[in-house]
């Protein structure tokens, strides 16, 4: 099974020409026959019309792709969609929280409920789970252990048990981001946790600097725009491409 991660440079607002180009690039990637699943960096479109145009141009009905669209201001506007079986599927969910301060008991319980009901899908018998951007703050870094994190609410074993049940019941955990995580060590500790028990974890974000693109091409394992792990080990991509420096694509086989 081939999984592709695609990151576009951050742009505050796409011009009409850039929007048309992005639609064509996305549909071309999806029409390639060697991809089973594609995850794009978040906010690649800010309206349903662009996603519908991608759908119309995508003739490969075997591919599944995950999109987060920025449809309104605030977290409520960060909505998830799948392109699967030749159809657009609204997952009817949005980002619950973004920062550690927002990771309250109420918000964490709401997120776990979303993970149990709206954030899972299947591709080629592999079960996928999605956490959006800063929702990875459901975990916190374990300072006395290297590359470790734990459930944020130490006093809520009931919620921890529900969270553990969800992540232990899937094969792949996805964590698309809007922009690069400021404290990358803290973030990577969460990817290690997500990849335990032979699970895969994948993340990708928008490109915010030229160095991210250059470093990814020169040394994919140190790429901070995209990363893949299994069993707490960083995976090496099958390929890394950056056509005309317009976007970054990495492919992995699982």
The tens digit of pLDDT for each residue in 42-69 reads 888 888 999 999 999 999 999 999 999 9
DSSP element (H, E) containing 149: strand 149-151
Low-confidence ranges of the chain (pLDDT < 50): none
What local confidence, expressed as pLDDT, does residue 224 receive?
78
DSSP element (H, E) containing 66: strand 64-70
d(CA 57, CA 238): 26
Encoding tokens for residue 203? 């993340």
Kindly provide the residue ranges of all beta strands, DSSP E only, lying in 8-49, ordered along the sequence. Answer: 37-40
CATH domain 2-253 topology: Nitrilase/N-carbamoyl-D-aminoacid amidohydrolase (3.60.110)
How would you class 184 by CB atoms within 10 Å of its CB: exposed for 0-12, middle for 13-18, buried for 19 or more? exposed
Domain boundaries, the chain: 2-253
pTM of the model: 0.94
């Amino acid at each position: 099974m081939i999984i592709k991660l695609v990151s576009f440079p951050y742009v505050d607002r796409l011009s009409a020409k850039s929007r048309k180009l992005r639609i064509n690039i996305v549909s071309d990637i999806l029409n390639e026959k060697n991809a089973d699943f594609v995850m794009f960096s978040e906010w690649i479109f800010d309206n349903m019309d662009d996603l519908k145009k991608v759908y119309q141009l995508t003739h490969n009905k075997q591919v599944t792709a995950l999109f987060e669209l920025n449809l309104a201001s605030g977290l409520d506007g960060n909505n998830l969609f799948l392109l699967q079986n030749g159809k657009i599927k609204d997952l009817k969910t949005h980002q619950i929280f973004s920062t550690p301060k927002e990771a309250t008991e109420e918000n964490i319980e709401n997120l776990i409920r979303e993970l149990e009901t709206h954030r899972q899908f299947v591709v080629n018998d592999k079960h996928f789970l999605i956490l959006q951007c800063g929702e990875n703050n459901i975990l916190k870094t374990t300072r006395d252990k290297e590359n470790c994190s734990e459930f944020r609410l130490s006093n809520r074993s009931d919620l921890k048990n529900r969270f553990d049940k969800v992540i232990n019941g899937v094969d792949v955990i996805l964590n698309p981001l809007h922009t690069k995580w400021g404290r990358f060590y803290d973030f990577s500790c969460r990817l290690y946790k997500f990849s335990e028990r032979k699970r895969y974890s994948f993340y990708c974000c928008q490109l915010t600097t030229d160095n991210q693109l250059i470093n990814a091409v020169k040394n994919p394992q140190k790429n901070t725009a995209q990363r893949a792990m299994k069993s707490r080990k960083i995976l090496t991509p099958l390929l890394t491409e950056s056509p005309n420096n317009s976007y970054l694509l990495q492919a992995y086989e699982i």
